[in-house]
Amino acid sequence: MRLVLVGPPGAGKGTQAEVIADELGVPKISTGDIFRANVSGGTPLGLEAKRYMDAGDLVPDEVTNRMVADRLAQDDAQGGFLLDGYPRNTEQAEVLDRLLAEQGHALDLALELTVADDEVVRRLSGRRVSKSTGKVYHLEFDPPEDPESPDLYQRSDDQPETIKNRLKVYAEQTEPIIGHYEAQGKLVRIDAVGEVGSVTDRAMAAIRDRTAE
């Protein structure tokens, strides 16, 4: 199964991707996670990406597309993958289509997680991440055992001004890819509000429907 998750920042893509990839037995490929690992590691890619991430802007396509092409060329992605956070504009969606076509493959499904803006802001503002495990919590919706633990941090781009810009970037640059996948008959939309488990159930049902077609 070759699958992409689409949805605004804070829609729960990372949360769902973890479980869905596991159920499908495919690697979860999160461009945000790869960029953050490079920022932490101080690599040239991380240094390049950081200024865009800090502002809530997209990292340039040239850098991002090359990084994704390298990742998709790895052995574990040959039988399928779940992309989280990519593509994020029409150019990236077209590059992905071409990349897969060159390998004789095609995307099976683009799953859109829909959540209203005010809910997204609440989710992003309360998001906390464990330094040691990478697990993502929410102060209210999925509280960590000790909210004051020094192991927890808040992503630097989860600040109000940056959140505002990320939502603007989503509306202006990322939303058009929904039309791209709709035109290909690959888009399935699910309601991403409610318990994490209920959202996963809806996602898995949509994926099963598509596999059965």
Active site amino acids: 13, 88, 127, 155, 166
Q: Which does 196 bind (CB under 5 to 8 A by kind): ligand AMP, ligand ADP, none?
A: ligand ADP
For the CB of residue 191, give the shortest distance to ligand ADP in the complex, in Å. Answer: 10
Amino acid identity of residue 18, one-letter, is E
Vertex 58: Cα angle to 55 and 64 (nearest 5): 135
Nearest to ligand AMP of 12, 32 (CB atom): 32
| Rounded alpha-carbon distances, angstroms, from residue 202 to 19, 161, 209 | 13, 32, 11
CA-CA distance, 130 to 128, in Å (whole number)? 7
CA-CA distance, 129 to 171, in Å (whole number)? 25
53 near ligand AMP, judged by CB under 6 A = yes
Q: Which does 137 bind (CB under 5 to 8 A by kind): ligand ADP, ligand AMP, none?
A: ligand ADP
**Nearest by Cα to 192 from 138, 111, 134:** 111
Nearest to ligand AMP of 123, 202 (CB atom): 123
Amino acid identity of residue 75, one-letter, is D
Which one of 2, 3, 15, 29 is in contact with ligand ADP (CB under 6 A)?
Answer: 15
Q: Which does 27 bind (CB under 5 to 8 A by kind): ligand ADP, ligand AMP, none?
A: none
13 near ligand ADP, judged by CB under 6 A = yes
For the CB of residue 43, give the shortest distance to ligand ADP in the complex, in Å. Answer: 22
Which one of 167, 199, 203, 207 is in contact with ligand ADP (CB under 6 A)?
Answer: 199
Element (H, E) at 188: strand 187-191
CA-CA distance, 194 to 189, in Å (whole number)? 15
CB proximity list for 183: less than 8 A, separation 6 or greater: none
Which residues between 80 and 139 bind ligand ADP (CB under 6 A)? Answer: 123, 126-127, 136-138
Binding residues for ligand AMP (CB under 6 A): 9, 31-32, 35, 52-53, 56-59, 64, 85-86, 88, 92, 157, 166
